């Protein structure tokens, strides 16, 4: 007597549970289509515009983040170094080069899927174009590690993977179709552990 309703309830639970699970996995897997890859850096210039695909719109709604309009800014993320290896807090990296033209840029590290760093931290967990030390030709070098380094240093947590987020504000490249011709800073691993 209760066998048929029980089987229907189990089937519905599997169907709804599987559907919700697959949707969450799809939202975490990508921001959407139309990614621009420049070395280890990746950006989705259409994610915050009216031309965004349904996956980008769903990801934006799920994340609950305020995204910039195409003329306001462009967000690049990097989860790997220039050699393609995953970024880890156990290693030291050197970010060097220059950014595309922008009125201001910010750089910070988070755990994959994590929130931006706390502003109450005593360590330099974020840098921007106004405070970074530059070479005479305009290039800069930033050391990224869990231990302190002289010069430009971005602190990360030891023993944890991380992702770099570079945001370009008020940049002409955000609305440009020539994004693939731009050059981004390289991320080179300089050592791991005590090396």
Contacts (Cβ under 8 Å, ≥6 apart) of 89:
146, 156, 157, 158, 159, 160, 161, 162
Contact 152, 133 (CB under 8 A): yes
Q: Which residue has the higher pLDDT, 114 or 125?
A: 125
Helices 3-29 and 54-63: crossing angle, nearest 10°? Answer: 90
Asked if residues 166 and 99 have their Cβ atoms less than 8 Å apart, the reply is yes
Instruction: Compute the Cα dihedral for 6, 11, 12, 16 and give only its sign.
Output: positive
Please compute the mean of the pLDDT values over residues 102-124 and round it to a whole number: 78
The pTM for the full model equals: 0.73
pLDDT class of 177 with cuts at 50, 70, 90: low
Q: What is the tens place of the pLDDT at every residue in 40-90?
A: 888 777 666 666 666 666 666 666 666 666 667 788 888 899 888 899 888
Per-residue confidence at 14, pLDDT binned at 50, 70, 90?
Answer: very high
β-pair partners for 168 = 74, 105
Residue 10 has pLDDT above 50, yes or no: yes
Residues in the chain: 195
CA atoms within 13 A on the CB side of 67: 25
Mean pLDDT estimate for the chain: 79
d(CA 13, CA 105): 47
């Amino acid at each position: 007597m209760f066998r048929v309703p029980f089987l229907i309830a189990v089937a519905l639970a599997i169907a709804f549970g599987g559907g919700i699970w697959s949707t969450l996995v799809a939202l975490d897997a990508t921001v959407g289509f139309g990614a621009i890859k420049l070395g280890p850096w990746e950006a989705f210039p259409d994610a915050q515009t009216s031309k965004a695909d349904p996956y980008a719109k769903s990801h934006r709604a799920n994340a609950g983040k305020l995204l910039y309009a195409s003329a306001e800014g462009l967000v690049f993320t990097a989860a790997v170094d220039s050699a393609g290896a995953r970024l880890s807090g156990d290693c030291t990296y050197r970010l060097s080069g220059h950014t595309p033209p922008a009125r201001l840029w910010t750089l910070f590290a988070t755990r994959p899927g994590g929130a931006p760093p706390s502003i109450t931290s005593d360590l330099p967990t974020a840098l921007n174009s106004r405070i970074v030390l530059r070479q005479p030709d305009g290039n800069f070098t930033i050391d990224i590690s869990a231990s302190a380094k002289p010069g430009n240093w971005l602190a990360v947590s030891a023993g944890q993977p991380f992702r770099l987020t570079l945001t370009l504000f008020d940049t002409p490249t955000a609305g440009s179709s020539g994004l693939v011709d731009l050059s981004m800073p390289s991320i080179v691993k300089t050592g791991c552990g005590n090396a």
